Structure 1
Amino acid sequence: MSDKYKANDPNEIYFITTAVVQWADVFTHREYCEIICNSLAYCQQEKKLTIYAWCLMTNHLHLICSSPTLASTIRDFKKFTAKEVYKAVQQNPQESRKAWLSWLIRSAGELSSKHEEYKFWQVGYHPILLHNNHLMEQKLDYLHLNPVSAGFVEEPEHWSYSSAKDYAGHQGRLPITFIQ
């Protein structure tokens, strides 16, 4: 088995990405985004997740992070947020895509190797070891420019669900540890 996308060193910093099944645009309601933010904050406080940078897009999440138990922290984060976002979709009277999203998430679960009731996140989290400053800067720029490239905002710090605001000298949504 390849070690290419495994977080093997608990003392290192990784760039990770986790995406919604079928890259479905789920994070279009503030309520769903807040579930992700609150869960990340919990992982910071209770699971020793250090976040250096982050960006939540409509269908995926990027983190530059480290943790003594990164794989299990991300596993628990995904399991908890999958349940909470799915429940929020079901209970949201403004969700015009409720039937479609429910079908998509349930179908992904049925088709999964574990034949789960539902599946919200794609398998894995694609950790990339940031072993030098050039790679760290490249991923930091990529992560913060994601909403600009998608055409959602003109400046990275205008995106509410990102650490770009912190890097621009303002207080963002989550506490971060600056990359030195």
Structure 2
Amino acid sequence: MNMATIRKNPLVTGEVYHIFSRSIEKFKIFNNRAQYFKLQNALQFYQFSNLPICFSRFAEAAKTLKHRYRERLLDLVNDKEKSVEIIAYCLMPTHIHLILKQLQENGITSFISNSLNSYSHYFNLKHKRKGPLWQSEFKNVLVSSDEQFLHLTRYIHLNPVTARLVDNPNDWEFSSYKEYIGEVGDKDQICQFNDLMEIGPKEYENFILIRKDYQRELAEIKQLLIDDDY
């Protein structure tokens, strides 16, 4: 199903949202590192609007020409505007979390549609399956305060720890956590969050780690967030 459908509550340009999308019947949609990185790269690609090529063709061309993916992406989009700004993300085996700022009308809906449909096409070809991979409509919650934003990033970055996939959020490759604690160089960053953060990388890391074992507190924080059972 095409996800670019008309929403009951249209997303507002200029606002920041927590976006959550789950696979159908909690189907495992990532089976190895390459599949996680495939969607991660698609998210980077489709944040730009009016692209002259689809992601699958771009990725194939980048591979054939033996250029680094990010260098090829920068060459392609150097004069393109963004439809969304990626602020934070976490990819999980059956679902994804994103914090996005909408920069153009219908930007988030188009971005999610393009990214997830692209991954579905890749996954179905890879596994010789047919049919939808994701639930038909993603969930969203408006991020309306600095406090909500800070707790939301903690909730998202601790998702792999809460789900017992890793013991430390730094061990999960498929989230923006390392960007937030300063372990990713500016050239390789996917997310734009500096204007929203009032604490530095080390203080943020302490803010995360001091709470990582407290599932009860996470449950309390979820009242600010999308109700999701991981």
TM bucket, shorter chain: 0.7 to 0.9
Compare 59-68 and 40-49 and name the one that shifted more. 40-49
Q: Structure 1 residue aligned with 2:157, among 125, 144, 149?
A: 144
Question: Structure 1 CA distance, aligned partners of 2:122 and 2:85?
Answer: 22
Aligned to 2:90, what secondary structure does the other structure show? strand
1:30-68, CA deviations, whole angstroms, 9 ceiling, x for partnerless residues? 222122011101023445321111000001110001222
Question: Structure 2 CA distance, aligned partners of 1:8 and 1:26?
Answer: 26
What RMSD in Å do the two structures reach over aligned CA positions? 2.1
Question: Structure 2 CA distance, aligned partners of 1:79 and 1:128?
Answer: 22
Partner of 1:36: 39
Aligned to 2:139, what secondary structure does the other structure show? coil
Partner of 1:62: 97
Alpha carbons 1:147, 1:153 under 8 Å: kept: yes
User: Which stretches in structure 1 are left out of the alignment for 5+ residues?
Assistant: 91-101, 107-117
Question: Structure 1 CA distance, aligned partners of 2:192 and 2:17?
Answer: 14
Q: Structure 2 residue aligned with 1:11, among 14, 24, 32?
A: 14
Instruction: From the CA coordinates, give the structure whose radius of gyration is larger.
Output: 2
Question: Structure 2 CA distance, aligned partners of 1:51 and 1:58?
Answer: 20
Give the TM-score normalised by the residue count of structure 2: 0.61
Aligned to 1:127, what secondary structure does the other structure show? strand
Q: Structure 1 residue aligned with 2:88, among 53, 65, 87?
A: 53
1:84-137, CA deviations, whole angstroms, 9 ceiling, x for partnerless residues? 1211223xxxxxxxxxxx3xxx4xxxxxxxxxxx11111111111001112112
Q: Structure 1 residue aligned with 2:24, among 21, 24, 29?
A: 21
Alpha carbons 1:7, 1:14 under 8 Å: kept: no
Compare 145-154 and 76-85 and name the one that shifted more. 76-85
> How far apart are 1:153 and its partner, in Å?
1.3
Question: Structure 2 CA distance, aligned partners of 1:31 and 1:133?
Answer: 34
Partner of 2:120: 82
Give the TM-score normalised by the residue count of structure 1: 0.77
User: Which stretches in structure 2 are left out of the alignment for 5+ residues?
Assistant: 1-6, 50-81, 198-230
Partner of 1:98: none
Alpha carbons 1:51, 1:63 under 8 Å: kept: yes
Q: Percent identity?
A: 26
Q: Structure 1 residue aligned with 2:142, among 129, 153, 156?
A: 129
1:124-164, CA deviations, whole angstroms, 9 ceiling, x for partnerless residues? 11111001112112211110000001111121121000001
Paired AA for residue 177 in structure 1: Q
Aligned to 1:33, what secondary structure does the other structure show? helix
> How far apart are 1:171 and its partner, in Å?
1.1
> How far apart are 1:29 and its partner, in Å?
1.2
Question: Structure 1 CA distance, aligned partners of 2:189 and 2:36?
Answer: 12
